[in-house]
Amino acid sequence: MNKNHHFQTVSTNYVYIVAVLIAFLGILGFSSGIASANIDTDSTETASSTTITATTTDIVVHVKSNVIIPTRYTVTIDKFIDGAKATETNVNGVTFPMTSSWFGVADLADGSGTYTLSPSGWNSSNPYEAITDPLTSYSTNENTTGPVVGSDCISGAPFALVGYSSGLTLVDATNAAQNTTSPNFTDLANNEYVIVWNKTCSTSTSTPTVVHTIIYTAGANGTLTGSTTQTVNNGSDGITVTAVPNVGFHFVDWSDASTTSTRIDTNITSDHSFTANFGADTIGPCNLEIEKTVDKQSAVTNDALVFTITFRNTGTENCTGSGVRIEDVLDQSLSYVSESHSDNVIPGYNFTGGLPEPVYNEATKLVLWSAGILKPNDSGWVKVNANVQATSSCTYDVKNQAKVTSYEYSNFTQYVNSNVVETSVRNAEYCASSPENTPPIITILGDNPFTLNINTVFTDPGATATDTEDGNITSHIIASSTVATSTIGSYTVTYTVTDSGGLTATSTRTVNVVEPHVDAVVQTGGGGSNGNSGSSSGGGSYIGFGGDRNKQLLAITNTGEIKNSPTSCILLNSYLRYGYNNDPTEVVKLQAFLKRIEGYDVDVNGVFDNKTLAGVNAFQTKFLDNVMGPWGASQSSGYVYITTKKKVNQIACNVAFIINPAEQSIINSYKAAQASIPAPAPELVPATTETTNPTNSTTSPDIGVKGTSSDTALVGGSSSVSNTVNTASVANTSAFNRFWGFVSGIFKR
């Protein structure tokens, strides 16, 4: 269970103290030779004994562990707002309160507490990111009871919790399903990533508009034309709805006793529901039919319209009474001009014993005719000429319907209705002087289409919205996205905004998720020096790699741009390693280089996986003298460290291979340490999961100095360790310092 100098025991501490004292005496001069300490570790989990044998010339300490210290891992928590990584800009620098519980942190009691996701990060240089210390179990959740984040937007907080997702990498967590269950990791087996997803809530404080609903329903034997469900602002008017009977039936009335088949409800201050009632036509000797047409479906103000009404008796007996009565009520936007009719029609109407009615009544806009007695199969027609009047609208509709009746229809109390005719009118003068509400305009920011490398986080550049009447209404934009960053394809982000007048604008961004591509060009340059000998350059060592320097230049971009300048073309910026929290973008660039330029079987997915490790080993073997030679190694290591990174950049960008003084010091320290230790060199020790990413370290565990850490050497072939006996030989000149470092390391662990 022990790994490379991790001597993890509690019950044998006193034995170690005795070992230290004896060793100290030997180091101070009780032995003129070399003292050696043989440490025998046993991975058996049951308790066992410890034996110490000491002479003036050697010290033998046999330690068998009986306490297992669990392996610890970190949890990284990131904040996403409206589907994008939180930044100080898109959340206005807000700090988000979090709570957590932890178990198994070294030198820290188990417990719970609070932290924040803020612009400065927590144990991280990245904004709105927190990284725990290595631990065994961990849970966390966002505080949704304070003024910053609510469980929903009804709470009044500026943000609402959408849910959580988790994964072994940030990309995995981004693509994982979201749920509202707080993350809880027990007995961690890997480093984990958690994303806390929030959405922005509207901060508008304006008084909400009161709206009402009008529902129109057709009863049996009829239908409705027009909008049957209307949403109307308080105090406003609805729009036209007409009840139309089926063949053989006629309109009777509405449920509110209105007898007009076409209605517009005005000044709505509450919800309403109206039902149109229909009755069966009188099926008998008299059977009237009526039809209406208009000569124009579109017009402008002052245009003349001609309405034609035809009627007939399809029954077997006469339609009688004071005569068949034909009625037409003109739309309020029409002015009556004249009428004409067939020979069997008389303008106006005169009930027997009643007062005569004129052909046109200005007050009611009713036009009347009498067809006298209509015999079976008799028919007739009437026409109305009218002019379109201007209204206080830019555009409006003129609708019209006629009806006919006779004595046989319940003594003129029931009617047969014609179809509804409609003409769309444009008031050009009003449109020019008083334009109506204009729709808003959406401007998409950033690239459209937007190209995104697979398995990378999509940060939406967003959009802005302006409106002639309302001004800047960007805050009202609602964005919806179908982007799946883990799958190559074309996706859409839709932006929608509605102005105060109810007009809506929509715009879309295309997001293409692609495999990172490598664009190569040839740049002519000078030849490099042959061999591996170096010459002084700027205080550092210059290592020439010989051959033709007319190399392919590599630039990994999303736009196809080729960066020709050697000073600007630096492909890799970080050190990379299998099993580390590597930067996915850096891994993508490495994988693209290995696949496109070197031709290795590597998947470009942003994860330093087994294929990537094999590709790095193959690359190091191909350039063994250049990459591993400076370290004194004869095998590949699989780690992208100082010389491997420089070789990749040298090939990709045709830049000089310069090792600066600090880097040369690291290499020299490693080689000196290897030379002073009589052990197989280079020794191979695998990385531990507790090691942090060395990207920004001045001195890294990847140095390879034997005895300084559990990550002893990062150069060489195999990455497995099976030996459990490690011997440290200490020279007299540094015995005290080396042995004390070893012992103090025991107690730190």
Q: Is the pLDDT of residue 224 over 60?
A: yes
Average pLDDT estimate for 609-614: 94
Nearest CA to 605 out of 614, 597, 595, 616 is that of 595
Give the whole-angstrom CA distance, residue 433 versus residue 640.
71
Model confidence at 741, pLDDT cuts 50, 70, 90, reads low
Q: What pLDDT is attached to residue 21?
A: 52
Give the whole-angstrom CA distance, residue 629 versus residue 635.
9
Indicate the helix (H) or strand (E) that contains 673.
helix 661-676
Average pLDDT estimate for 129-134: 93
Give the whole-angstrom CA distance, residue 333 versus residue 331.
5
Contact 311, 326 (CB under 8 A): yes
Residue 538 neighbours by CB under 8 Å, 6+ apart: 658
Q: What pLDDT is attached to residue 557?
A: 39
Return phi, psi of residue 25, to 5°.
Answer: -60, -40
The conformation of residue 688, written as its DSSP 8-state character, comes to P
Give the whole-angstrom CA distance, residue 31 versus residue 571.
55
Give the whole-angstrom CA distance, residue 732 versus residue 435.
97
Give the whole-angstrom CA distance, residue 339 versus residue 367.
9
Contact 36, 731 (CB under 8 A): no
Contact 350, 326 (CB under 8 A): no
Largest CA distance in the chain: 149
Q: What pLDDT is attached to residue 494?
A: 94
Give the whole-angstrom CA distance, residue 84 versus residue 591.
25
The conformation of residue 629, written as its DSSP 8-state character, comes to G
97 alpha-carbon distance from chain centroid: 22
The least confident of 57-66, 142-151, 282-291, 525-534 is 525-534
Report, in this order, helix, strand and coil percent for the chain, each rounded to 5. Answer: 15, 35, 50
Q: Is the pLDDT of residue 143 over 70?
A: yes
Give the whole-angstrom CA distance, residue 51 versus residue 466.
82
Q: What pLDDT is attached to residue 717?
A: 33
CA atoms within 13 Å, Cβ hemisphere of 715 = 28
Nearest CA to 658 out of 528, 552, 558, 485 is that of 528
> Structure tokens of 644?
């491997």
57: left (phi over 0), alpha (psi -120 to 50) or beta: alpha
Model confidence at 296, pLDDT cuts 50, 70, 90, reads very high
Q: What pLDDT is attached to residue 501?
A: 66
- Each residue of 627-650: pLDDT tens digit? 998 988 889 999 999 999 989 988
Measured CA to CA in angstroms, residue 729 lies from 382, 667, 723, 742 at distances of 122, 22, 17, 11
Q: Is the pLDDT of residue 26 over 90?
A: no
Q: Which amino acid is at 217?
A: T
Residue, of 701 and 426, whose pLDDT is higher: 426
> Structure tokens of 662?
């600090």
Q: Is 97 helix (H, G, I), strand (E, B) or coil?
A: strand
Angle between helices 13-25 and 735-748 (to 10 degrees): 170
Average pLDDT estimate for 170-195: 92
Q: Is 192 helix (H, G, I), strand (E, B) or coil?
A: strand
Give the whole-angstrom CA distance, residue 351 versus residue 353.
6
The least confident of 134-148, 563-577, 590-604 is 563-577
Q: What is the DSSP string of 356-417?
A: -B-SEETTTTEEEEE--SB-TT-EEEEEEEEEEPP-SSSEEEEEE-EEEE-TTTTTTTS-EE
> Structure tokens of 210?
């009161």
Nearest CA to 523 out of 545, 502, 549 is that of 549
Residue, of 463 and 696, whose pLDDT is higher: 463
Q: How would you label 281-316 residue by residue, b for 16+ Cβ within 10 Å and e otherwise?
A: bbeeebbbbbebebebeebebeeebebbbbbbbebe
In residues, how long is the chain?
749
Kind of pairing between the strands at 552-555 and 416-417: unpaired
Q: What pLDDT is attached to residue 322?
A: 84
Q: Scan for tokens 């961004």, then name that residue.
A: 509
Average pLDDT estimate for 660-669: 86
Q: Is the pLDDT of residue 43 over 80?
A: no
Give the whole-angstrom CA distance, residue 142 versus residue 144.
6
Dihedral sign computed on CA atoms, order 597, 599, 600, 606: positive
How many other CB atoms are there within 10 angstroms of residue 719's CB atom? 17
Q: What pLDDT is attached to residue 464?
A: 93
Percent of the chain with pLDDT over 90: 38
Give the whole-angstrom CA distance, residue 650 versus residue 640.
14
Return phi, psi of residue 206, to 5°.
Answer: -70, 155
> Structure tokens of 734?
């540094």
Q: What is the pTM of this model?
A: 0.30
Model confidence at 341, pLDDT cuts 50, 70, 90, reads very high
Q: Is the pLDDT of residue 130 over 90?
A: yes
110 alpha-carbon distance from chain centroid: 36
Q: Is the pLDDT of residue 42 over 90?
A: no
Q: What pLDDT is attached to residue 425?
A: 87
* Apex 643 CA angle, 76 and 604, nearest 5: 50
Indicate the helix (H) or strand (E) that contains 77.
strand 75-81
In three-state form (DSSP H/G/I as H, E/B as E, the rest C), the secondary structure along 24-74 is HHHHHHHCCCCCEEEEECCCCCCCCCCEEEECCCCEEEECCCCCCCCCCEC
Give the whole-angstrom CA distance, residue 267 versus residue 333.
20
